[in-house]
Amino acid sequence: MFKKIASAGNYLNISLVLLSLSLTSFAVDSDKDQEIIARVTSNIFAKDHYRQHLLNDEMSEQLFYEYFKTLDPAHLYFTQEDMKVFGKYKLELDNMLLDGDVTFAFEVYNYLLKRVEDCRKEAEAILKSRLDFNTDEYYTIDRSKEKWPADIKEQKELWRLKIKNDILVFRLMERAEKEAAEEEKQKNSKDETKKDLKEPVAKWNKGTPEERVMKRFNNNIRYLKENDPMDVLELYLSALANVYDPHSAYMSPKTVEDFNIQMKLSLVGIGATLTLEDGYTKIINIVPGGPADLDGRLKPEDRIIAVAQEDAETVDVIDMPLTKVVNMIRGKKDTIVRLTILKGDKGVNAIPEVISIRRDTVKLTEQEAKGEIRKIKMDDGTEKKIGVLTLPSFYFDFEGAASGLENFKSSTNDVRKILVGFNKDKVDGLVLDMRSNGGGSLFEAISLTGLFIRQGPVVQVRTPKGAVEVKNDPDRNICYDGPMVVLVNRLSASAAEIFAGAIQDYGRGIIIGDTHTHGKGTVQTIYDLDNFLRHYGLKTPSGSVRITTAKFYRINGESTQDKGVCPDIIFPSFTDCMEIGEEYLDHALPWDTINPVKFESFGDMKKNIPALSEKSLKRRQNENAFKILGTNIERFSKMKEKKAISLNEEKRWELYKEEKKISEQQYALMRLETSNPEDLSKEDKDAEKDAMAKALKKKKQPDLFLDETAKILCDYIGVLSAKDKPEAAAAVSK
């Protein structure tokens, strides 16, 4: 139910009659320690955050609504009447926080407990009635941008529609499972070796749809009551942090402990970065080399709605706190976790499906740079040797470097070794694949850029006071000076954007990918609050503050924040249809510019872009796989525009069948190069389909974008004259 965990407090202990009557017998309250933490944290944000924005009435009003949104992101539990009741606090929260008064946070949280309990009781009554799934009613799935219901009457109608949709989802899931089981049974009946196999039983889906929905409501109220005062404080102070920017937060001692464990990569799980959005656990990113990445089925934007251990009963996780979901997904190595998910590429029409993933340790070696050489045939029949270098993240072994190890692990050291090998093999060009590279060490982004340029500025860093520091590559040596392209997408962020931006500014290579990269151009610093509060005599640890303290700028003066890096050549992409990137985050810092710095350009590469882009477009227009991809992207884009979904069961079932039929076309994107599908018998086609599925799971499926990128590079090599080859020019760009 919560996007993040954050704050709590104490305020004017004025008891409104309405409020006192509405609170449940269970209540959470603050103590002196939390009041001190709130006061100090508020001052840190006001003084040290990049925005340099003191707490005032404007910030108070933003915090007022942000906290309600944090507690009720789907706008289900509070009403506009509630907002009026609490409205007296709207312009007072700034003064209250600076005084350490967080009464508002706890009053609103306790009121939420009452509202959720009301909803649970309403659900019991609704489930006892006969719901009609033949009527044409509609429910808006994503309610984050919808208004809160006006009053209790409107709220109860909203609850009825939500409960009806929740039940319908499970009814459709049961139908889909039965259909799949019947198809498997018929398939096995034709196979003599499988005739005696028992019909598969979905042990992880126990209970009727009504029972599962009711259990979800009971769990939700239980989770809320399990939150202690520090959890509530975390919710409130993180709401304050989010008003400054989405990457700042207050972290309670429990969250700090989890954060430190994740940083050490010492946990066993599935290798996925998760967030909580509108009550759903959503996949943000798949960790390269992790179990989910190697399995290949879980994707960014997928939502996890239930988790089961091995063959145990499933546990619904909608509205469950993110920390609890994460702990359920973690487990012992080589054990199975079953995830019930809603596929992100199915939009509002998604029907839950179950995938099983074997837990394992996320190996650092799987995130290291890797290289291979591909032979690409040119239009004239000649072949070009293209070095493909994949870099999933920017990493640096601080312990190895500090101990004086000569060959300590780092992205720059590993890439340098690969490039030396490419040079020995005399590759004609280089593709540097940075798709889904979420960043990492800033030092590594600078030193890696230095492998491709001769000494110069790489990035500018601006502080809250306006001071600008230019980060330079001091090494005049170039490890690779041939033609190169960098492949990115919307999941390429932070350090990856610094590198791509520098390569583009220098004219050193062509950037190819989505319409733009992620747009994460800010720097965060973590403050241990115990260092600030040691003289206050607190009884317990106070947690930490993650605060944005600087901003990145390219050497051309443009920020990478919000807009990211715009590629020279753009590919069609599903992620361009998804809300991925800084531009979709509330209170994100804006894009802006500062003065550029002087640097040596490698010449005017832009003049070749139009011809290369046009040639690539013609090639893609004539390739069947890209045609199917384009059709599916267009269909997905239209599907994402739909906000309301039918509550008519047969209409929903027909939508599911249609989506299932269309999704089978995706196999065309995994074509094997062995034969023409039109010439295959049905048995051969089934065998081919199985082979493609196995190839998908082994991560050996054809990569349309990488293949086309290599062809674009070959085109670029073909048009380069001796004088155009990217060698450092004397021209100075300002």
DSSP string, 501-554: HHHHHTT-SEEEESSS-----EEEEEEEHHHHHGGGT-SS---EEEEEEEEEE-
Most confident residue range from 263-277, 511-525, 528-542: 511-525
Mean pLDDT of 53-70: 97
- The pLDDT score that the predictor gives to residue 281 is 92
- What is the band of 733 on the pLDDT scale with cuts at 50, 70, 90? very low
Which range of residues forms the domain containing residue 326? 265-362
The kind and range of the H/E element at 384 are strand 383-390
Q: What is the dihedral of CA 575, 579, 585, 591, to 10 degrees?
A: 50
- What is the band of 26 on the pLDDT scale with cuts at 50, 70, 90? low
Is 636's pLDDT higher than 80? Answer: yes
Task: Give a yes or no: residue 697 inside a domain.
Answer: no
Task: Give a yes or no: residue 502 inside a domain.
Answer: yes
* Distance set, CA 488 to CA 17, 428, 493, 567 (Å): 57, 21, 9, 8
Name the more confident of 506 and 198. 506
Query: Most distant CA pair in the chain: distance in Å?
Result: 84
Angle at Cα 60 formed by Cα 227 and Cα 109, nearest 5°?
A: 20
Chosen domain end from 328, 362, 396: 362
Q: Which of 30, 494, 544, 646 is catalytic?
A: 494
Is 12's pLDDT higher than 50? Answer: no
Helices (H), 250-372: 253-263, 291-295, 322-329
- What is the band of 364 on the pLDDT scale with cuts at 50, 70, 90? low
Chosen domain end from 345, 362, 379: 362
Is 147's pLDDT higher than 70? Answer: yes
Mean pLDDT of 620-644: 88
* Same domain assignment for residues 229 and 274: no
- The pLDDT score that the predictor gives to residue 639 is 83
Residues with Cβ within 8 Å of 682's Cβ and at least 6 positions away in sequence, in order, are: none
- What is the band of 17 on the pLDDT scale with cuts at 50, 70, 90? very low
* Same domain assignment for residues 327 and 230: no
- pTM over 0.75? The answer is yes
Mean pLDDT of 193-219: 68
Is 362's pLDDT higher than 80? Answer: no
Question: Which candidate, 73, 526, 64, 563, places its Cα nearest to that of 282?
Answer: 73
Is 266's pLDDT higher than 50? Answer: no
Cα 704 vs. chain centroid, distance in angstroms? 23
Name the more confident of 280 and 113. 113
Neighbouring C-alpha atoms within 13 Å toward the C-beta of 336: 10
97-111 burial string, b = 16+ CB within 10 Å, else e?
A: beebbbbbbbbbbbb
- What is the band of 502 on the pLDDT scale with cuts at 50, 70, 90? very high
Task: Give a yes or no: residue 460 inside a domain.
Answer: yes
Mean pLDDT of 532-558: 92
Token representation of residue 294:
């190697």
* Same domain assignment for residues 64 and 46: yes
Name the more confident of 691 and 75. 75
Neighbouring C-alpha atoms within 13 Å toward the C-beta of 611: 12
- The pLDDT score that the predictor gives to residue 348 is 72
The kind and range of the H/E element at 229 are helix 229-244
Phi, then psi, of 462 in degrees rounded to 5: -110, 135
Per-residue pLDDT reduced to its tens digit, 79-93: 999 999 999 999 999
* Same domain assignment for residues 326 and 288: yes
- The pLDDT score that the predictor gives to residue 734 is 29
Stretch among 153-167, 180-194, 461-475, 517-531 having the lowest mean pLDDT: 180-194
563 DSSP assignment: T
* Same domain assignment for residues 350 and 415: no
Helices (H), 302-342: 322-329
Query: Is residue 579 a contact partner of residue 706, using CB atoms and an 8 Å limit?
Result: no
For residue 355, give the CATH number of its domain: 2.30.42.10
Residues with Cβ within 8 Å of 190's Cβ and at least 6 positions away in sequence, in order, are: none
- The pLDDT score that the predictor gives to residue 99 is 94
Asked whether the CA dihedral 324, 326, 332, 337 is positive or negative, the reply is: positive
Angle at Cα 406 formed by Cα 400 and Cα 410, nearest 5°?
A: 55
Chosen domain end from 362, 397, 430: 362
d(CA 449, CA 479): 10
Residues with Cβ within 8 Å of 156's Cβ and at least 6 positions away in sequence, in order, are: 122
- The pLDDT score that the predictor gives to residue 721 is 54
Question: Which candidate, 568, 605, 440, 576, places its Cα nearest to that of 518?
Answer: 576
- The pLDDT score that the predictor gives to residue 420 is 98
* Same domain assignment for residues 352 and 372: no
Q: Report helix, strand or coil for 208.
A: coil
d(CA 535, CA 544): 16
Per-residue pLDDT reduced to its tens digit, 387-411: 999 999 898 887 777 787 777 889 9
- The pLDDT score that the predictor gives to residue 428 is 96
* Same domain assignment for residues 437 and 322: no
- What is the band of 366 on the pLDDT scale with cuts at 50, 70, 90? low
Most confident residue range from 31-40, 134-143, 502-511, 638-647: 502-511
DSSP for 669-719 reads: GG--TTS-GGG--HHHHHHHHHHHHHHHHTT-S--HHHHHHHHHHHHHHHH
* Same domain assignment for residues 355 and 444: no
Per-residue pLDDT reduced to its tens digit, 271-312: 888 888 877 899 988 887 789 988 989 998 899 999 998 878
- What is the band of 728 on the pLDDT scale with cuts at 50, 70, 90? very low
Mean pLDDT of 424-429: 97
- The pLDDT score that the predictor gives to residue 10 is 32
Residue 505 bears catalytic tag: yes
- Looking at the chain, the whole-number percentage of residues with pLDDT higher than 90 is 57
- What is the band of 468 on the pLDDT scale with cuts at 50, 70, 90? very high
Q: Which of 166, 302, 505, 562 is catalytic?
A: 505
Is 510's pLDDT higher than 90? Answer: yes
Name the more confident of 542 and 643. 542
The total number of structural domains that make up the chain: 3
Task: Give a yes or no: residue 644 inside a domain.
Answer: no
Scan for tokens 């190169």, then name that residue: 484
Residues with Cβ within 8 Å of 535's Cβ and at least 6 positions away in sequence, in order, are: none
Task: Give a yes or no: residue 131 inside a domain.
Answer: yes
* Same domain assignment for residues 289 and 386: no
Mean pLDDT of 442-454: 95
| Neighbour-count burial of 40, counting CB atoms closer than 10 A to its CB (0-12 exposed, 13-18 middle, 19+ buried) | middle
* Distance set, CA 641 to CA 25, 142, 264, 300 (Å): 43, 11, 40, 18
* Same domain assignment for residues 200 and 126: yes
- What is the band of 14 on the pLDDT scale with cuts at 50, 70, 90? very low
- The pLDDT score that the predictor gives to residue 193 is 56
Name the more confident of 200 and 157. 157
Mean pLDDT of 166-185: 87
Is 667's pLDDT higher than 70? Answer: no
Is 696's pLDDT higher than 80? Answer: no
* Same domain assignment for residues 310 and 239: no
- The pLDDT score that the predictor gives to residue 203 is 47
Task: Give a yes or no: residue 698 inside a domain.
Answer: no
Q: Which of 3, 346, 370, 520 is catalytic?
A: 520
* Same domain assignment for residues 528 and 548: yes
d(CA 553, CA 103): 41
Is 480's pLDDT higher than 90? Answer: yes
Mean pLDDT of the chain: 85
Task: Give a yes or no: residue 49 inside a domain.
Answer: yes
For residue 441, give the CATH number of its domain: 3.90.226.10
| Neighbour-count burial of 470, counting CB atoms closer than 10 A to its CB (0-12 exposed, 13-18 middle, 19+ buried) | middle
DSSP for 425-477 reads: TT-SEEEEE-TT---B-HHHHHHHHTTTSSSEEEEEEE-TTS-EEEEEE----
Is 434's pLDDT higher than 70? Answer: yes
Overall residue count recorded for the chain in this entry: 734
Neighbouring C-alpha atoms within 13 Å toward the C-beta of 287: 23
Token representation of residue 166:
């929740």
d(CA 552, CA 555): 10
Per-residue pLDDT reduced to its tens digit, 579-621: 899 999 999 999 999 999 999 999 888 899 999 999 999 999 9
Task: Give a yes or no: residue 675 inside a domain.
Answer: no
